[in-house]
Amino acid sequence: MAMSGDIIANDILFEWLLRRGDTPLILGHRVSEWCGHSPVLEEDIALANVALDLIGQSRLWLTYAGEVEGKGRGENELAFLRDAWDFRNFLLAEQTNGDFGKTLMRQFLIDAYQVPFLAALESSGNERISEIAAKAGKEAVYHLDRSADLVIRLGDGTPESHKRMQTALDMLWAYTGEMFAGDAVDEAMFDASLAPKPENLRPQWQKTVDMVLDQATLKIPQSDFAHQGGLSGRHSEHLGHLLADMQFLQRAYPGATW
Amino acid sequence: MKKEWPLWEVFIRGQHGLNHRHVGSLHAPDAELALKNARDVYTRRREGVSIWVVPSTQITASDPGSKDSLFEPSKDKIYRHPSFYDIPEDVGKM
């Protein structure tokens, strides 16, 4: 297997790939919790589609991560047999679904990040990364189209829907800063021309968010406080509960397959 | 929910299909969301390359009770079928 070991250390690439794979995995699982519970049938199916897209993206990243790590772990081992402190997803992704509005707001804030991030990754110096990004990018564009549309409709909807969307935004805002924090891993990836610096994506994200939230008649919280820790494995209390549910089968019946 | 979203009829043109075909219906508050919902409900298995949505109320349907008077009379007029002609291959699909 040709590794990009000469460009970047495998452990750094592995760490970075876990971050790419874990956010869609955890978000995908969260969204899948709606299956059978959505307000209307059409939304139920649409949300399940989004969840499947996200889990599909995660599989590509985690499979590659396993190859880079070279310890025989594949997508399944990485998804189902790691503990909370080994997960590298954004804290935003693991936040609970709450009501339909909070789920959509969380989705929108992440979609608005994924679109420019994946677009930038398409010109990565690593072919595998650019291939995955190209595939995931198409899905992300649709996800953003959909979540932005619904955020606008509900924000600029009835007094009740407006109130719920504003509450969701206020609740989730402090988790958005983490997406742009970046650290030594991101720095190394950037220096090797493999990935963009997260902070450089902020203007594009901000533009989308400002435009959509303005149309949605929602007020962006003024606080700059940003929760952090997802990228180093310090998660909120929600992740453990999510994993207990998601990993139950493989923990209780190791190696079980369809 | 007191007030249901209006019903839309969904038409999809398949990968190799020439025409949009009726595939079913769904509820949506407006045309834009009806298209999105149709994408999610009816094209999950790569069924389509194009979608039309039409408000169900905009479709005027023939009365099933008048089936006999509408359609029976053409039954014995087989000469209306072009089955007595050879169609040149170049013509392609008619």
Query: Model confidence over A190-221: pLDDT tens digits?
Result: 999 999 999 999 999 999 999 999 999 999 99
Distance CA A247, CA A78 (A): 11
User: Looking at the domain assignment, is residue A225 inside a domain?
Assistant: no
User: Looking at the domain assignment, is residue A89 inside a domain?
Assistant: yes
> Which CATH number characterizes residue A183's domain?
1.20.1260.10
Distance CA A95, CA A148 (A): 19
Q: In the predicted model, what is the mean pLDDT of chain A? A: 95
B80 touches chain A (CB under 8 A): no
DSSP B69: H
Give residue B94's pLDDT band: very low, low, confident or very high (50, 70, 90): low
A40 touches chain B (CB under 8 A): yes
> What secondary structure does DSSP assign to A5-42, as a single string?
TTTS-HHHHHHHHHHHHHHHHHHHHHHHTTTTTSSSHH
B7 touches chain A (CB under 8 A): no
Distance CA A229, CA A147 (A): 26
A45 touches chain B (CB under 8 A): yes
Give residue A154's pLDDT band: very low, low, confident or very high (50, 70, 90): very high
Distance CA A65, CA A86 (A): 13
User: Looking at the domain assignment, is residue A91 inside a domain?
Assistant: yes
**A contacts of B41 (beta carbons < 8 Å):** 41-42, 45-46
Q: Chains A and B: how many Cβ contacts under 8 Å?
A: 29
The one-letter amino acid at A195: A
Give strand pairing partners of A239.
none
**CATH class of this structure's domain B7-89:** alpha beta
| pLDDT for residue A4 | 47
Asked if A147 and B33 count as a contact pair (C-beta separation under 8 A), the reply is no
Report the domain count for chain A: 1
Write down the residue that tokens 């599909």 correspond to: A56
B40 contacts A49? CB cut-off 8 A: yes
- Give the gap in angstroms from C-alpha A48 to the nearest C-alpha of chain B: 9
**For residue A77, what are the domain limits?**
10-220+233-252
DSSP B18: S
Q: Domain segments of chain B: what residues?
A: 7-89
DSSP 3-state of B52: strand
Mean of the pLDDT values across residues B1-18? 85
Distance CA B67, CA A64 (A): 61
User: Looking at the domain assignment, is residue A257 inside a domain?
Assistant: no
B32 contacts A46? CB cut-off 8 A: no
B53 touches chain A (CB under 8 A): no
Among A255, A254, A242, smallest CA distance to A30 is for: A242
Cα angle B49-B51-B57, degrees, rounded to a multiple of 5: 165
DSSP 3-state of A157: coil
